[in-house]
Amino acid sequence: MKVALYARYSSENQRDASIEDQLRLCRLHAEKQGWTIVDSYTDRAISGASLLRPGIQELIQDATRGRFTIVLAEAMDRLSRDQEDIAGLFKRMTFSGVRIITLSEGDVTHLHIGLKGTMNALFLKDLAEKVRRGLRGRVEDGKSGGGNSYGYDVVRQFDARGERIRGDRTINEEEARTVRRIFADYTRGKSSRTIAMELNRDGVPGPQGREWGPSTIHGNRERGTGVLNNEMYVGRLVWNRLRYLKDPDTGKRVSRLNPESEWVVQEVPELRIVEQDLWDAVKTRQAETTFSQPERGNEALSERRRPRHLFAGLIRCGCCGGGYSMISKDLLGCTTARNKGTCDNRLNIRRDALEASVLSGLRTHLMEPDLFKEFCNEFTREVNRMRMELGADLVAMRNELPRIDRELDKAIQAILDGVPGAKLKDKIGALEARKIELTERLANTEEPPPLLHPNMAEIYQQRIASLYESLQAEETKTEAAERLRTLVSQITLQPADGELAIILRGDLAAILQFAAHKKNATVHPDSGVLDAFISQVSLVAGNRTPRSRQNVANGHSQASLVAGTGLVLSLRQSQVESKAGLIGCFNGLFSAHA
């Protein structure tokens, strides 16, 4: 029986040895049962309220590939404390033929999932309520109930029993001067962006030593975020203004504003940094400059979340790595250069020109037929190589069969020569069993079929052309734009010789699924190999900014054709000498254009 071990602890305050203690107990149990341990998986200082943990995700992937038949852990709550997650994990393991066994519950069944899952979920809820009760009491005593704010230092002290006293703060005079400067500059009419740029220019470190940004200063007035809205600066501690929920799809925390009646407010005059008249002046200017949008129903929520432009959120600056955003009606510019002043890239690009160039790259450069043919051939060879390494070694098994036949012939000849058959009985039985095993494995092991259609590149180009036509029609424009966005992982704008070079990175997995006309093109015996291969390879097409309206209409200029074709030619001319040669070509190309 092949077994995988899993261990986890959730708090950074716990000892790291907790992981080793769990694994040691699991190893002892596995040895008593005579099981073979193939691997161990761990998650350190990560909550069990979500399955978005690297260790548990790797365990799930290996389980689906048949690496083991048992998952052994100290208890069910080590795997997950969430009812939905533990039920889903149990369902996946059952489908893969993997049993879940814990030292506390034994062989986990549906009954354990129902009862223990509910108990673990109640434990999390009870723990959260106890933490909130403790934090509320701390706030009512005039101590901080959350993280530290800019302008203050954490006071580290201990009581008579040696336990740490939490929540005390003291004013950091240097940071307090910066806070007063921000308030004063804002009342003089400066925008939060101007203030941030001046602070960065003067070398003033921001919160947690980072650069200043406009949102760090203005924040959200209703939610009390941002320097200008932190009421602690006027000696008022507000707790429970926001509540945080975990998004079940992403695992990220999302804040929600609580009713004002649930807020806990405590006066802490010793922590005041900003005088009341300065605070009131800031609030007055905020009220004059803030405009409120009319409330819209839930039916408009999806529209507000949908990107307004075709490739919004995917465009990055090649100098600083920051995003490119709309700086006027038609122009895109580096957000970091304009909001923080810490990037020297001041080159702009027309949105329509960028979109035309990217569409051109998708249609003509990302899936060159000759290049893609090499990719298909190399991918098939890589599948064969990795399958041989991870699965049955066909060559070794084929060579072993004649050797077993020779050993059997020798044993039979020894019996004919007078050697007692009882002495050779066990040996012959073992050889026969091994022969049957090898014969079955060879019969059930096939050479992996090609995953990609040889004409995939041509099919892809035809479908991209059809998608481009759908962009022109109002009734299909939205769906076509969302589909196109999935094919692009990143668009990098790199300054070069006074203009912007466009480096388009395509999402290879999405491109293959799109070309195969499937929702999930990785449903294949070697999907694991596809994942490993794709993780090393993305598709890149170079391009130059179109300089005129005519170039925009044509989709690309002559310079862009040369740049794009040259990039493909440099890859096509590389000789694939080893089994992973093309991967090396890809990686070398990407590092040069990263």
- Tell me which DSSP letter residue 447 carries: P
Indicate if 409 and 486 belong to the same structural domain. Answer: no
| Residue 260 in domain | yes
Indicate if 544 and 589 belong to the same structural domain. Answer: yes
**Number of independent structural domains in the chain:** 4
* Residue 469, CA distances (Å) to 274, 384, 466, 485, 506 in order: 59, 39, 5, 15, 20
Residue 570: the pLDDT is 27
Residue 492 parent element (H or E): strand 488-496
| Residue 474 in domain | yes
Where b means 16+ CB within 10 Å and e means fewer, 314-348 reads bbbbbbbebebbeeeeeebbbbbbbbbbbbebebb
As a residue count, the chain comes to 594
Residue 221: the pLDDT is 85
- What are the structure tokens assigned to 148, written together? 């530290």
The answer for residues whose C-beta is within 8 angstroms of residue 500's C-beta and 6 or more apart is 347, 349, 493, 494, 544, 545
Question: Which pTM was predicted?
Answer: 0.51
Indicate if 575 and 460 belong to the same structural domain. Answer: yes
CATH of the domain at 186: 3.90.1750
List own/partner pairs for 176-182 with CB under 8 A and 24 or more apart: 176/151, 176/273, 178/150, 178/151, 178/204, 179/150, 179/151, 179/227, 179/233, 179/273, 179/274, 180/273, 180/274, 180/278, 182/217, 182/227, 182/228
Residue 390: the pLDDT is 52
Indicate if 435 and 456 belong to the same structural domain. Answer: no
| Per-residue pLDDT of the chain in tens (594 residues, 90 and over written 9) | 899 999 988 765 455 568 888 999 999 999 999 999 999 999 887 776 677 788 888 899 899 888 999 999 998 888 887 777 888 889 889 988 999 999 988 999 888 888 876 787 777 777 777 777 777 777 777 787 777 889 998 888 887 887 777 778 899 999 999 999 999 999 988 888 899 999 998 999 999 888 898 889 998 888 888 999 999 899 888 888 888 776 766 667 777 888 888 888 888 889 999 999 999 999 998 888 765 554 444 444 444 445 567 888 888 998 988 889 888 888 999 988 888 888 889 888 888 888 888 887 777 766 666 666 676 667 666 666 665 565 546 667 777 888 888 888 888 888 877 777 776 777 888 888 888 887 877 776 655 555 566 666 677 777 777 877 787 777 777 777 777 777 787 888 888 888 888 887 877 666 766 766 655 544 445 445 455 444 444 556 655 444 333 333 333 322 222 223 222 222 232 333 333 333 333 333 333 332
Indicate if 403 and 531 belong to the same structural domain. Answer: no
CATH of the domain at 123: 3.40.50.1390
Residue 49: the pLDDT is 66
Residue 472: the pLDDT is 76
Q: How far apart are CA 106 and CA 87, in angstroms?
A: 17
Chain-centroid distance, C-alpha 61: 16
Indicate if 205 and 93 belong to the same structural domain. Answer: no
Residue 524: the pLDDT is 47
Residue 476: the pLDDT is 75
**146 half-sphere exposure, CB direction, 13 A CA radius:** 12
Residue 559: the pLDDT is 25
Indicate if 58 and 180 belong to the same structural domain. Answer: no
| Residue 202 in domain | yes
| Residue 506 in domain | yes
| Residue 264 in domain | yes
Of 103, 127, 151, the position where a domain reaches its end is 127
Residue 300: the pLDDT is 44
Indicate if 437 and 471 belong to the same structural domain. Answer: no
Indicate if 353 and 477 belong to the same structural domain. Answer: yes
Indicate if 397 and 361 belong to the same structural domain. Answer: no
Of 255, 271, 289, the position where a domain reaches its end is 289
Indicate if 91 and 192 belong to the same structural domain. Answer: no
| Identity of the amino acid at 579 | K
Q: How far apart are CA 535 and CA 41, in angstroms?
A: 21
| Residue 220 in domain | yes
Please compute Rg for the chain using Cα positions: 32
Residue 369: the pLDDT is 66
Domain region containing 476? 349-377+452-593
| Residue 147 in domain | no
Of 93, 108, 127, the position where a domain reaches its end is 127
Indicate if 64 and 98 belong to the same structural domain. Answer: yes
| Residue 138 in domain | no
